[in-house]
Amino acid sequence: MSDILLETRDLKMHFPVSKGILQRKVGYVKAVDGVNLQVRRGETLGIVGESGCGKSTLARLMLRLLEPTSGEVLFEGENILNYNQKQMLRLRKDMQIVFQDPFASLNPRMTVGNIIAQPLKTQRAKTNLKRQVQNLLEIVGLNPEHYNRYPHEFSGGQRQRIGIARAIALKPKLIICDEPVSALDVSIQAQVINLLEDLQKEFQLTYIFIAHDLSVVKHISNRVSVMYLGRIVETAECARLYDHPHHPYTNALLSAIPLPDPRLERKRQRIVLKGDLPSPSNPPSGCTFHVRCPRAEEHCRNHIPTLVHHELESHQVSCFFPLVEEQRLENSI
């Protein structure tokens, strides 16, 4: 069995933009613009990037909830974009998603029991439904007697546990967690992350864990990919990325995380990036980061960098002038 569970090859999603009463096509939003990544069996791959950089679109493409403009999505070595409906239904069992907003992702008119039972019903795993649901509630740390209650009767953290119970109901191989704790109080975030970690060990799950902040993914990820304007700009083993970032964007994101030690925090220099995230409908030329990059030179304006390994085989960066040791900030968090 191959070590790689899921792989994307030059995956692109360009949403057409139409205007006026004639709905004339006036351009494209390049939400995902050539993503190559590999997810290994049993690992947690963190994906981090600013809001709007294409993380949720990438998640939906990997699950084939959206048809890409071009590119490939391989699950266990097979391009799932060639699958027919029947093959897709079978595949759905193996890949699940946990959404960011536990308030919007659960149907308010359905009991928790019915919500969790839904995937079981679609896969015809109907024997002893109530027992299965109660068992799942117990696994995620909820009271099994509460299967008849409605989502509004639960707190945000509890609702996210319901979303997790639904995701693990069919014992999937892969779960994509799309900012699963971003909507939760900080005190609840750690509990939900701990639950996800326990479930990973128990059921040998592979996770793709999406966040907009590097501090959230640090403790759960084996490897981390940093995304900028629809592309992966850096991928490395977790500790390596935090201690030796090569991409100036990663370095800037790291410098924005407050340090727990106030003395170190006062001494630290913060990198403030110029401007906002450019619009994906009109991305800058060359390296799309060059307009905000403190290290950009003329070359970056006219040439597109590709993801290549730097110093280590496992450390990939898409930059013409990657950072070297003495240019990094003290960022240990």
Ligand X SMILES: Nc1ncnc2c1ncn2[C@@H]1O[C@H](COP(=O)(O)OP(=O)(O)O)[C@@H](O)[C@H]1O
Q: Contact residues for ligand X (CB under 6 A)?
A: 15, 29, 31, 49, 51-57, 280
Pick between residue 2 and residue 51 the one whose CB is nearest to ligand X. 51
Return the residues of window 216-245 that contact Mg ion according to CB under 5 A: none
User: Choosing among Mg ion, ligand X, none, which partner's interface includes residue 71 (Cβ < 5 to 8 Å by kind)?
Assistant: none
Pick between residue 56 and residue 221 the one whose CB is nearest to Mg ion. 56
Q: How far is the CB of 57 from ligand X (least distance, A)?
A: 3
Amino acid making up residue 327:
Q
Round to whole Å and give the CA distance between 91 and 76.
11
Q: How far is the CB of 192 from ligand X (least distance, A)?
A: 19
Q: DSSP readout, 265-298?
A: HHHPPPPPPSS-PPPTTSPPSSSTTTTT-TT--H
Q: Helix (H, G, I), strand (E, B), or coil: what is residue 175?
A: strand
Q: Helix (H, G, I), strand (E, B), or coil: what is residue 35?
A: strand
User: Choosing among ligand X, Mg ion, none, which partner's interface includes residue 246 (Cβ < 5 to 8 Å by kind)?
Assistant: none
Task: Report yes or no: 34 and 11 within 8 Å, Cβ to Cβ.
Answer: yes
Question: What does the block give as tokens for 12?
Answer: 């692109």
Is residue 57 within the footprint of Mg ion (CB under 5 A)? Answer: no
Quick note: the x/- pattern for Mg ion over 16-55, rule CB under 5 A, is ---------------------------------------x
The dihedrals phi and psi of 3, each to the nearest 5 degrees, come to -75, -25
User: Choosing among ligand X, Mg ion, none, which partner's interface includes residue 29 (Cβ < 5 to 8 Å by kind)?
Assistant: ligand X
Q: How far is the CB of 326 from ligand X (least distance, A)?
A: 32
* Alpha helices (runs of H) in 25-151, residue ranges in sequence order: 55-62, 85-92, 112-122, 129-139
Task: Report yes or no: 101 and 161 within 8 Å, Cβ to Cβ.
Answer: no
Q: How far is the CB of 179 from Mg ion (least distance, A)?
A: 6
Contact with Mg ion (CB under 5 A) among 56, 225, 250, 318:
56
Q: How far is the CB of 46 from ligand X (least distance, A)?
A: 14
Pick between residue 51 and residue 79 the one whose CB is nearest to ligand X. 51
- Rg from Cα positions in the chain: 21
Beta strand 24-40 with 4-19 is antiparallel
For Mg ion, how many residues bind (rule: CB under 5 A)? 2
Task: Report yes or no: 64 and 8 within 8 Å, Cβ to Cβ.
Answer: no
Pick between residue 30 and residue 247 the one whose CB is nearest to ligand X. 30
The dihedrals phi and psi of 116, each to the nearest 5 degrees, come to -70, -30
Pick between residue 66 and residue 110 the one whose CB is nearest to ligand X. 66
The dihedrals phi and psi of 206, each to the nearest 5 degrees, come to -105, 135
Q: How far is the CB of 177 from Mg ion (least distance, A)?
A: 12
Task: Report yes or no: 32 and 11 within 8 Å, Cβ to Cβ.
Answer: yes
Pick between residue 15 and residue 83 the one whose CB is nearest to ligand X. 15
Interface with Mg ion (CB under 5 A): 55-56
